[in-house]
Structure 1
């Protein structure tokens, strides 16, 4: 990264950081996409089982790994302030924390997952697929959390193309393993949806090992000497990371968990409805990678400019990033309008499920505008290290407003499952408005500091 002076230069810098992140996020999302897609090709029961399993896993994954994202603004500020010699210490502390968090997930999950699944109104075969899928995923939790730390380091240094390369290598590994384990190819047992979980778990190990090699051996990471000295756990360093990371993690958790909660509440409807809902949500999540990638880019760029006390440049990056996200959201909305049937056909060969998926995809159109504003805005706020208000806004918008509205509409009107989608859209819109107001407030604050 380097200082920029014109809007054109800033947009070019944004694209340099953004495009590899976008490819990386789409590829990571594709792992879940292929889990869902290939399980659906095996059977609708396996599709529903993987849908339930991923709905339990994804909020935990993104929420806890979101805590580790606190490392990104810390490293960005160090880079902007020319304090690269302190980076290795913070990375090692984050790796220790990632290991502890992963162990907690494994320990707590072993106790709480079985009763949660038993308490849900699911067919026995769907419940079995869900549990086996989660069991397979569990073998890769420790390396996934470790990889998150290494990726934060790589991206915060502006080397987002390295993250892209690592993830692109992992995708064919995951697809091949899915094909082998779901359908029983190459001499492997036919495991159905459970095989998708095992394939993802192995893939997480692969990306962690590859990332370790890059950080240890390749420029510009090698000269940082990340593993040259083993720093013991420092609770003071953890406190700094957690002060930033916990609000980020909970903010992400509240947003993703509300979607998972809706999927779980959908269990009152038919297996076909669950499968179609999850398929439509899965594709909407894939499109969400666009504003999410802009969000991550803004955290890096604004953190860099803020670390160097260039507040005007930081504000300009925020305006450029959010505007670009809105423009792209209009394009994705057009894609959903005119290509809903081909998209639905990616997830199932059964005509009635395809029709249901198309129906739910209509609601995904309205997600795009709100996500295009809310998600990059959160990234900008993280660059300023202003994270607690976003967490509170997520709690209010998604859980206090969005989910109750959806529950009421789904259960006390004739809307049925559509009510949950309307509730989600309501929460996302309110969250976008409140987050944008917070960003404008922070920018005014730093503008006054600069003028003084």
Structure 2
């Protein structure tokens, strides 16, 4: 057992550091903008939820490269990996077109929030700037998926940490302004400019490493030019579309929660943003374990060692669940200090306090469901998990949250009115998803292994 856990941990820790660097972007934006004004924080929450919806839905399609490349790597078919990556580049370019259009014209989505015209205008400006960085973010995802698939997450981590070091001075300059240099205070808009710049820097570094790094150069990705091969792209889409839909379902469960909560006012939305940001930060640990577990499972499948694949998958789920309980306990005990780090506004803190207690509970279910779904993806299984996500996250989570939060039927208890109702229903939805995915994973392993 410990040998398997050690292998998973050895691959997971650089993934975790890299993902923490990425999520630190959001933490930093939330904390810095929160110090600027509640209005800027609300615009960040609203605009950010829409951007994440678009980006994650498109990015999820490209993540299909990871299990495909990992299985080929495990089977020793290294020559074919370069061609898979070249086709993934074409797919990233095709996906960027609708993504840029949606971010450049977000008005029809923003109207769902029923936000004030001022808040809608600020969020719209935020999204239009991020549209320029979306193609770079998608190209970098191809590089990240390849590196993870061949068990080289450290080179991804290096770029992500580099991006974080650039984010600090850029945020300071653009959010608060530097009067002596003539840089105005831009608030949430400054966050968007900083993120776009870093997306292109990360993309350039990723492409350079693909061409020059010793561990990736062997795949000869840039050895020749090729046009789109529709059969290869169709293979990516066959796995990637349901994966992208599952990512989209997962993120829209949160983004539409933010849109609905925006109806309750800037202070409530700001409190929700703190809870969402902390939940996303905690999610990085089980997700890193899940990515590492999926990589090792897919490589074992590629080498036809199904017994090892089954064992690695089981250990990964157990490891993620155990650490989930530990992290939830620590977070629950440290709520006052965590809130103090996020905001100095007593009204925002009052909204966020009960939400953090719910986040601590739902994290355990989050750890179990993400580890299970990544192991299923390693087996190239994605359709049924998407259905499970739709029923649980949209039906139980978003639908139930709307009923509880807005007291639609008049039966919701007072403590579940407002943002707390949405978060409570979201926790229940993750419990349903975890139960369904674990049962389905058990069946898939029996059938395929």
Q: State TM-score, norm by structure 2.
A: 0.95
Mapping for residues 37-436 of structure 1, pairs under 5 Å: 37-111=31-105, 113-185=106-178, 186-412=181-407, 413=412, 414=414, 415-417=416-418, 418-436=420-438
- CA distance in 1 between counterparts of 2:269 and 2:2 reads 46
- CA distance in 1 between counterparts of 2:406 and 2:163 reads 42
Residue 400 (structure 1) shift: 2.1
Residue 224 of structure 1 aligns to a residue whose secondary structure is coil
Residue 220 of structure 1 aligns to a residue whose secondary structure is helix
Residue 218 of structure 2 aligns to a residue whose secondary structure is helix
Residue 346 of structure 1 aligns to a residue whose secondary structure is helix
- CA distance in 1 between counterparts of 2:126 and 2:363 reads 29
> Structure 1: any 5+ residue segments left out of the alignment?
1-6, 448-452
Q: Is the 8 A contact 1:76 1:157 kept in 2?
A: yes
- CA distance in 2 between counterparts of 1:104 and 1:224 reads 30
Q: Is the 8 A contact 2:59 2:138 kept in 1?
A: yes
C-alpha RMSD over aligned residues: 1.3
- CA distance in 1 between counterparts of 2:326 and 2:358 reads 15
- CA distance in 2 between counterparts of 1:109 and 1:140 reads 11
Q: Deviations over 1:116-175 (max 9, x none)?
A: 324532123322221121122112101100000011111111111111111111101112
Q: Deviations over 1:281-303 (max 9, x none)?
A: 11111100111111211221111
Q: Deviations over 1:32-55 (max 9, x none)?
A: 221222111111100000000011
Q: Is the 8 A contact 2:373 2:385 kept in 1?
A: yes
Q: Is the 8 A contact 2:104 2:131 kept in 1?
A: no
- CA distance in 2 between counterparts of 1:106 and 1:279 reads 27
Residue 349 of structure 1 aligns to a residue whose secondary structure is coil
Q: Deviations over 1:2-46 (max 9, x none)?
A: xxxxx3332222112100011111111111221222111111100
- CA distance in 1 between counterparts of 2:320 and 2:112 reads 40
The match for 1:438 is 440
- CA distance in 2 between counterparts of 1:240 and 1:446 reads 20
Residue 221 of structure 1 aligns to a residue whose secondary structure is helix
Tell me how many residue pairs correspond in the alignment.
440
After alignment, is 100-109 or 295-304 more displaced? Answer: 100-109
Q: Deviations over 1:324-362 (max 9, x none)?
A: 111111221122212112211222221221222222101
Residue 203 (structure 1) shift: 0.8
- CA distance in 2 between counterparts of 1:17 and 1:120 reads 41
Residue 41 of structure 1 aligns to a residue whose secondary structure is helix
Q: State TM-score, norm by structure 1.
A: 0.95
- The 4+ residue runs of structure 1 with deviation greater than 4 A are none
> Structure 2: any 5+ residue segments left out of the alignment?
none
Q: Is the 8 A contact 1:53 1:134 kept in 2?
A: yes
